[in-house]
Structure 1
Amino acid sequence: MVIKVYIASSSGSSAIKKQQQDVIGFLAANKIEFEECDIVVSEDNRKWMRENIPENSRPSTGNPLPPQIFNEEQYCGNYEAFFDAREDRAVYAFLGLTAPPGSKEAEALARREQQQ
């Protein structure tokens, strides 16, 4: 499974640029395989991203903004959802991936399972 991060290579928003760098930097640092899909250079990427974000995850006005994260065709979420998952040490679950053994997320999951 490949994580797809929909980005805008030439965004005028410094916040969007920072969020994109944050997501991509985290995935690269954790050796999570991903693909950048640029919505600026590919109309197909832009159209696919917009069509595949669930209705309940779309902004009330305007179009969804990058970064948007998918696991293949499955929508994972936007930057805010990614940030929340990272804060909760649940990024692998957010991405629909199994946390590697020995990772903080795998250890936290094992502790939760033992408590049940």
Structure 2
Amino acid sequence: MASWYGAAHGVDIEGIDGTWAYGGLMGGPMLSWPISDKVDVDAKLMVGYVVAMLDIDGEDDTGDIGAAFDIGATLRYNFAARWALLVNLDYFNGNSKVFDRKRSISTINPTFGIGFRL
């Protein structure tokens, strides 16, 4: 499995507007276990890199490339031959330097949706 990701957030540092953004690329294995005829559990572990940027009042620093990992699990309910309901939980962690300081980026991402199985 692979993931190409990115996020951006507005920040206010002592009354000065800015943008904090990060992105990267990761890959790794995904394993699936059938729980019943219609329910599967997927587990994944991905490793890769992250690049961070902090832009404050037009002064930006793209930072260094740092290591990142993501670990997660998905519960799939296959309600039709090719369709499934998905409930997912991921933990992401990465490190990068911005303005010569090491920054740790950590997120917990709960998601849900509908998937089409190929």
Quickly name the TM-score band, shorter chain normalised: under 0.3
Name the structure with the higher strand share: 2
- Which is higher, the Rg of structure 1 or of structure 2? 2
* TM-score normalised by structure 1 residue count: 0.25
Higher RCO, 1 or 2 (CA under 8 Å, sep at least 6)? 1
